[in-house]
């Protein structure tokens, strides 16, 4: 299998605050890799580097064989990104935004079915700034998917979503994976990792403390118990 995202010995500090301390993991095509870890473990920092939004102090990161920091517009078009904050313009309606984004890609998905799948059509008369957090989250996911990406980065995609929306997102992410896309998901939800992930990477204090299939990382006592044992003394 192809390793599409490769993170090798990343180091990073914010001033005197260490964020990454020799982080190494990889993610492959046609698989969902879930990145777990306590607050401050370095998940968002690493994902932002993979998206080309931040440059590591040291180490190497490759997405589809390219250094994301130096990447061209063509490379960026192959990568779908859903950020925690969303970064969506407030004054537009969801469909207008999604159609605008779709026009930027060579072979976008059809916007209407995507909106239906994510339940966006029902609130499409509302501008982005008036949407609930969960509704905005769904639009952010649609925005990440609209360009038919080869690699998809999702930062806590179901945080704040109701159970129906969460299930819909999981189904959509699995379908995306089954189409051969590399999916990297950060999450605090064991249920999400268990249901979605082909591979789990557990971070603590800027390093990887476990990496393997859900069964391997969960061991005999389950993912939650294993996670607490792995991260308790290194928080
Ligand atoms: N822009 C920044 N300036 C200063 N420190 C930062 C900045 N961004 C992150 N940090 C620090 O770097 C460390 C890693 O943060 P990061 O956001 O990557 O963690 P995380 O695993 O995504 O956490 P969370 O689960 O809370 O989202 C933390 O100690 C955090 O306080």
- Three-state SS for 58-92 is EEEEEECCECHHHCCHHHHHCEEEECCCCCCCCCC
Could you give the number of structural domains in the chain? 1
Question: Is 125 contained in some domain?
Answer: no
pLDDT in tens, the chain (235 residues): 579 999 999 999 999 999 999 999 999 999 999 999 999 999 999 999 999 999 999 999 999 999 999 999 889 999 999 876 667 788 899 999 999 999 989 899 999 999 998 899 999 999 999 998 888 888 999 999 999 999 999 988 888 888 988 888 899 899 999 999 999 999 999 999 999 999 999 999 999 999 999 999 999 889 999 999 999 865 5
Domain that holds residue 44: 1-78+188-235
Question: Is 105 contained in some domain?
Answer: no
Question: Is 217 contained in some domain?
Answer: yes
Question: Is 207 contained in some domain?
Answer: yes
Question: Is 144 contained in some domain?
Answer: no
Ligand 1: lining residues by beta carbon, under 6 Å: 14, 17, 19, 37, 39-45
- Bridge partners, 183 (sequence order): 32, 152
Question: Is 89 contained in some domain?
Answer: no
In this structure, what CATH number is given to the domain that contains residue 233? Answer: 3.40.50.300
Report the 10 Å Cβ neighbour count for 191: 13
Q: What is the pTM of this model?
A: 0.92
Task: Tell which atom from ligand 1 comes closest to the C-alpha of 15.
Answer: 4
Where residue 42 falls (left for φ over 0; alpha for ψ -120 to 50; beta otherwise) is left
| Residue with CA closest to ligand 1 atom 3 | 14
């Amino acid at each position: 299998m192809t390793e599409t995202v490769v993170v090798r010995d990343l180091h990073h500090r914010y001033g005197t605050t260490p964020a990454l301390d020799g982080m190494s993991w990889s993610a492959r095509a046609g698989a969902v890799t879930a990145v777990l870890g306590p607050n401050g473990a370095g998940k968002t920092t690493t994902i932002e580097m993979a998206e080309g939004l931040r440059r590591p102090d040291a180490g190497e990161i490759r997405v589809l064989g390219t250094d994301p920091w130096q990447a061209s517009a063509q490379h960026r078009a192959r990568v779908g990104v859903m950020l925690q904050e969303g970064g969506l313009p407030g004054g537009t309606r969801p469909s207008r935004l999604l159609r605008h984004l779709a026009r930027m890609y060579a072979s976008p998905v059809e916007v209407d079915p995507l909106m239906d799948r994510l339940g966006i059509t029902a609130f499409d008369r509302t501008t982005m700034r008036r949407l609930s957090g969960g509704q905005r989250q769904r639009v952010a996911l649609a925005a990440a998917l609209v360009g038919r990406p080869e690699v998809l980065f999702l930062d806590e995609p179901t945080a704040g979503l109701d159970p129906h929306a969460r299930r819909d997102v999981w189904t959509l992410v699995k379908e995306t994976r089954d189409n051969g896309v590399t999916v990297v998901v950060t999450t605090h939800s064991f249920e999400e990792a268990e249901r979605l992930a082909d591979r789990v990477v557990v971070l603590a204090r800027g390093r990887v403390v476990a990496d393997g299939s859900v069964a391997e990382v969960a061991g005999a006592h389950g993912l939650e118990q294993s996670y607490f044992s792995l991260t308790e003394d290194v928080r």
